[in-house]
Amino acid sequence: MKVNRVEVFDIHCPDRPAWTPVFVRIHTDEGISGVGEAGLAYDLGHSAAASMIKEMAEAFLIGHDPFQTELLWSRMLRESFWGLGGGPVVYA
């Protein structure tokens, strides 16, 4: 099983403008998907976080086994500017 697609949802709630969560759905080539939330993405900066998460997830996850979570997390942390430097993507 390999990751073959990443979707990022930057949610806008007109009744609660400061509540702007970012959700991520990871798809596999076997039709299985999983959903997560970038919990830091409230108030200002959520759109930037959504864009960075999508770019990193596509670069580091597509083509890889989704069950190798420690390996994938380690690569995202160590092989990206935003990883060791901190920032929104680390908390996603």
Query: How far is CA 4 from each of CA 13, 20, 25, 45, 85, rounded to the nearest angstrom?
Result: 29, 26, 11, 27, 27
CA angle in degrees (0–180, nearest 5) for 91-15-40: 5
CATH number at residue 32: 3.30.390.10
Count the Cβ atoms, other than its own, within 10 Å of residue 89: 22
The reported pLDDT for the residue numbered 18 is 78
User: pLDDT by residue (tens digit) across 29-63?
Assistant: 999 999 998 876 567 777 888 888 899 899 999 99
Which positions ≥6 away from 40 have C-beta within 8 Å? Answer: 49, 88, 91, 92
Domain count, the chain: 1
Q: State how far the Cα of 2 lies from the Cα of 16, in Å rounded to an integer.
A: 37
The domain of 48 spans 3-91
Percent of the chain residues topping a pLDDT of 90: 45
pTM across the whole model? 0.80
Asked whether residue 28 carries a pLDDT value surpassing 60, the answer given is yes
